[in-house]
Amino acid sequence: MVGYTQTMTSPLPHLSLRAKLALAFFAANLTLLGLVYLVTQYRFNNDFSELVLQQDLRALDQHTQPLIELYAKRSAWPPPRSMELREAVREMVMSYRASETRSLRLRRLSLLDQDGKHLIGPLAQADRSVTHELIMNQQTIGFLALPPLPSIPSGIEHAFVQQQNQTFLMAMLATGLIAFGFALWFSARFVAPIRLIGRALTQLTAGERNLQLNLPEG
């Protein structure tokens, strides 16, 4: 019966201990930087999308009179999806388009009552929507709402986001280079005492007895 033993070999046998340590430290830092980059990009895109929607809703402030007049008739909103609501929303949109040049994403606009209940519009996720108050006599009577954008719209907003993404990426690359330099420095500091001890052991094995180790401090 022939027996054999299986030895574990390093995936990088040609690298020194210092190089392996530096590579491991750099890989850990690179992974962390990648996660930070992804989270930062996700949060920035979400926050910027919300800002775009808030600007769209604020642009309608001067054109909400048809909705306020409709509510004032009975101090309450008509039934959801009623013709009165449709006409009031249509008048508001027409008023905006007649006097403003900025294009808004009004096809996704919805109207909520003061309790946040859906009255009219294509809103599907009220809890995630961006809302803007409708005020009458210093009281909130409802909300205009837009759902989250599936992506950053084209135009100046998209160009701005692309520029910011490039800035984030360049910052991460610069940080990665700094992390690589620190990994080399750290590995050299860590391995130096081990090398000194290894040389001392080699000399002891060779019969040398008068040894003095000058280990680096810190």
Residue 58 CA to its chain's centroid (Å): 24
Q: Name the nearest CA neighbour of 36 among 173, 133, 157, 131.
A: 173
Low-confidence ranges of the chain (pLDDT < 70): 1-15, 17-18, 100-106, 123-127, 150-161, 190-198, 200, 203-204, 206-218
Rounded to two decimals, what is the model's pTM? Answer: 0.56
Q: Helix, strand or coil for residue 115? A: coil
Q: Tokens 């019969």 identify what position?
A: 207
Distance from C-alpha of 203 to C-alpha of 218, rounded to nearest angstrom: 25
Distance from C-alpha of 53 to C-alpha of 132, rounded to nearest angstrom: 10
Round the CA-based radius of gyration of the chain to a whole number and report it.
33
Distance from C-alpha of 106 to C-alpha of 123, rounded to nearest angstrom: 12
How much is the pLDDT for 93?
84
How much is the pLDDT for 34?
79
How much is the pLDDT for 140?
92
DSSP class of 119: E
How much is the pLDDT for 109?
85
Token pair for residue 76? 């309450």
Tell me how far apart the terminal alpha carbons of the chain are, to the nearest angstrom. Answer: 55
Q: Is 133 within 8 Å of 145 (Cβ atoms)?
A: no
